[in-house]
Amino acid sequence: MAQCCSPKPAATTFLRHPPNSPRISTLFTLPAIPSSSTKFPSISLLSPCSRRRSFPVAAATAAVDSPPEISDHEDGKRHLLEVKDLTAVIAESQQKILNGVNLTVYEGEVHAIMGKNGSGKSTFAKVLVGHPDYEVTGGTVTFKGQSLLEMEPEERSLAGMFLSFQSPIEIPGVSNADFLNMAYNARQRKLGLPELGPIEFFSHVYSKLDLVNMKMDFLNRNVNEGFSGGERKRNEILQLAVLGADLAILDEIDSGLDVDALQDVAKAVNALLTPKNSVLMITHYQRLLEYIRPTYIHVMENGRIVKTGDISLALVLEKEGYKAISTA
């Protein structure tokens, strides 16, 4: 999920695939772009200096750096996200899908949510960002000390929450550079910080390209249009790197990635971790946890978290499956 801006307030947009295609709903904040808006210049036209520069791309490495060890919650450490007894239903059918989720994420932590298909993992992520397909029926959610459920989706995004979807969609007619520049400036305005014009923004985004092992020409391409699965996932992490979210929710960021792409994505996520931000990642496989080491692992079943542990819990799941901890 990314934020964007224009002279008018941002509007939240939910795109759905045609009825005959698999139903995937995607949220992002993207206002209408006026026809008179200034487009981000082509990379080749930025400046004579930029044309002469050499732009190295980091090569994939076999070893992926892990974030520093996080100690127990010392005095003064704030929680970013606190979820208490969260319940939710599918808006259209009123089918109950979340059955009392409890979760607390402190600054500097990495949390992984695992569970069988249909256990409520992706639904939980979408409810946190305010997806309209779901209706909250009970419980509370606070983000950075404020009630998250009282915020509109675009407000949650601008407040520092980021969601990377399983299947990022294409946005025809909008270049990556324009999209990222608008999203970055929307966040800057929210924080009361200076906005960047296209040329200045390029200097900011340039270093982020190396982080996710992407080439410059990705900036001139339309968002995800013609991208491979791996390129789409890298592009999601590029958005995260540019926006500098406080809480990154990564929904199966490892799906469809080969080993090299997974290592690049994991290395970028680890590089973005600081003592002040956190990651909540959803995955089916232990493989991702070998590259992004979680502080805690939570197992979800029937719309609630039924087990919490450290990395050893993933080893149990890998060996024995979810029957080892099932409450059924």
Give the chain's largest Cα–Cα span.
66
**What's the predicted TM-score (pTM) here?**
0.74
Closest among 149, 161, 164, 188 to 5, alpha carbons compared: 188
CA 156 vs CA 42, 106, 181, 203, 233: distances in Å: 32, 17, 19, 27, 22
Q: Quick one: pLDDT at residue 327?
A: 57
77-324: CATH architecture: 3-Layer(aba) Sandwich (3.40)
Q: Quick one: pLDDT at residue 99?
A: 96
Q: Quick one: pLDDT at residue 13?
A: 38
Q: Quick one: pLDDT at residue 234?
A: 84
Q: Quick one: pLDDT at residue 121?
A: 93
Q: Quick one: pLDDT at residue 210?
A: 84
Segments making up each domain of the chain, as ranges = 77-324
Q: Quick one: pLDDT at residue 21?
A: 39
Closest among 149, 136, 108 to 295, alpha carbons compared: 108
pLDDT in tens, 162-193: 998 777 777 888 888 888 898 889 888 888 88
CB distance 27 to 12 below 8 Å: yes
Q: Quick one: pLDDT at residue 220?
A: 83
Ranges of residues in the chain with a pLDDT under 70 are 1-76, 326-328
